[in-house]
Amino acid sequence: LNASQARSISGWGRYPRLKAQSLTPDKASHIRECLDGRGELIVHALGRSYGDSALNSRVLLTRRLNHVLDFDPQRGLVECESGVSLAELIEAFLPRGWFLGTTPGTRFVSVGGAIAADVHGKNHHQAGCFSQSVLSFKLMLPSGEVITCSPLENAEIFRATCGGMGLTGVILSARLKLSPLSSAYIDERIIKTRNLEETFAYFQASHEWPYSVAWLDCLARGEDMGRSLLMLGRPARDGGLHLPRKKGLVLPVDLPRWTFNQATVGLFNYLYYHLQRAPVRKRVSHLLDYFYPLDSIGHWNKMYGRRGFTQYQFVIPKEASYQGLRSVLDRISQAGLGSFLVVLKLLGPANDNCLSFPLEGYTLALDFQIQGRLFPLLEELDRVVLDHGGRIYLAKDVRMSRQTFRQGYPRWAEFTALRERLGAGAKLASLQSKRLGV
């Protein structure tokens, strides 16, 4: 068991940062010792959650829980420790014709982090969340006892742990079902839409495409509001199963604060949208480029400068989405706080997990540089989201209030009661869980 001196850690948004003592166990008995130790802790895996859900003054790192334990090549079943990353699974199993049933927009997340946030991908409308491809996992409860959880065994704890942000126990290992694949390529169709109405209409009409996501010009106003490039994808038949050997770029330094202002963001959005001239474009992309466009730039989170950034991601039920999104976009453009990276997705139905984020409706994610006038704007947006029956994503959150959380996640009390029964309160906590009162 490696216990380090306190050092500075943060989530992907690099805000907030705090000094934490990190513990790096490599087996169950060591994790038990960590839980027995004095004070609370939280698991910090690959730190790709944006805010404070993996932060506390004691963190348990899972990087030494990095072994693949078993693989059934006939059925695509893999068992691995929770610190194994999705990138490592892809590297090992894509060449053998297997891919993840669900993947978020970066492959540098751990299996434990993907379960704890119950992440969703571009195929949520067809495949649901990550937990839908989890057959079972081993969980160390705060008491040190290890149990197996699946949709049938310890089902209540399974449903609370998937999406439960590390607050029910430490996931030690998981059994996952991979999906068969005959090519590492994606047939893409990119549709240029003129406004939000058209963007919604194309999303609705593209339900049979397994993958869909739109980049949205968040500063376009009036008749152009909600214009986008909708990127549809389906697995190609040809092209082979190889992984590219190219090296990506690395952003070596923080960019200065002035890189982001309404003029630069507006210009970027304008050019990006108009770069595609045709209303529809087809192309074939390697799946690593299609699913993980940002992974090719190492440390791209330095782009937002030293103060860091946050991602605001919310979902609004389908019937209220149009009004809700217009209202949000209006307020953002009035505040003059634009964002380069604005991603829209039509999600499928919610699952039965206590705190999983997705529900049937549109989700929008926007990156914002941290600055004084941001937080009042986000509070205003929270009210719009809640008034339209929506909620904010915990894996991106760094500042939502307890009331906003409780209104958005009506099963919070059930979750808190389970935590009490498990004796988790005194052992497992993050800055986020304390702020939200779970």
Ligand X SMILES: Cc1cc2nc3c(=O)[nH]c(=O)nc-3n(C[C@H](O)[C@H](O)[C@H](O)COP(=O)(O)OP(=O)(O)OC[C@H]3O[C@@H](n4cnc5c(N)ncnc54)[C@H](O)[C@@H]3O)c2cc1C
List, in sequence order, the alpha helices (H) in 276-365: 287-291, 318-335
Contact 11, 56 (CB under 8 A): no
Q: Burial level of 411, CB count in 10 A (0-12/13-18/19+)?
A: middle
Q: Are 120 and 406 in contact (CB under 8 A)?
A: no
Looking at the Cβ atoms of 283 and 299, the one nearer to ligand X is: 299
Least distance CB 223 / ligand X (angstroms): 30
Q: Which is nearer to ligand X, 12 or 260 (CB)?
A: 12
Minimum CB separation of residue 120 from ligand X in Å reads 5
- One-letter amino acid for residue 336 of the chain: G
Residues in Cβ contact with 34 at an 8 Å cutoff, skipping those fewer than 6 apart:
1, 23, 25, 41, 60
Q: What is 19-41 written as a DSSP string? A: EEEEEE--SHHHHHHHHHSSS-B
**Least CB distance to ligand X at residue 172 (A):** 7
Q: How far is the CB of 311 from ligand X (least distance, A)?
A: 8
Q: Which residues bind ligand X (CB under 6 A)?
A: 12, 42-49, 53-54, 62, 82, 104-106, 109-110, 112-114, 116-117, 119-121, 165-166, 170-171, 294, 395, 430
Between 154 and 195, CB nearer to ligand X: 154
Helix axes 318-335, 374-387, angle to 10 degrees: 160
Nearer Cβ to ligand X (40/225): 40
Q: How far is the CB of 47 from ligand X (least distance, A)?
A: 5
The residue among 11 and 333 lying less far from ligand X, judged by its C-beta, is 11
Q: Is residue 193 a contact partner of residue 199, using CB atoms and an 8 Å limit?
A: yes
Report the candidate in 350, 305, 355, 7 with the shortest Cα–Cα distance to residue 162: 355
Smallest gap from Cβ 278 to ligand X, in A, equals: 27
Residue closer to ligand X, measured from CB, 220 or 395: 395
**H/E element, 313:** strand 309-317
At closest approach, how far in Å is the CB of 110 from ligand X? 3
The torsion angle over the Cα atoms of residues 407, 410, 413 and 414, rounded to 10 degrees, is -170
Nearest CB to ligand X, comparing residues 105 and 305: 105
From the list 199, 197, 189, 149, the residue with the least C-alpha distance to 169 is: 149
Closer residue to ligand X (CB): 128 or 226: 128
Nearest approach, Cβ of residue 263 and ligand X (Å): 25
Question: Residue with CB nearest ligand X?
Answer: 113
Which two three-digit tokens encode residue 257?
């604060």
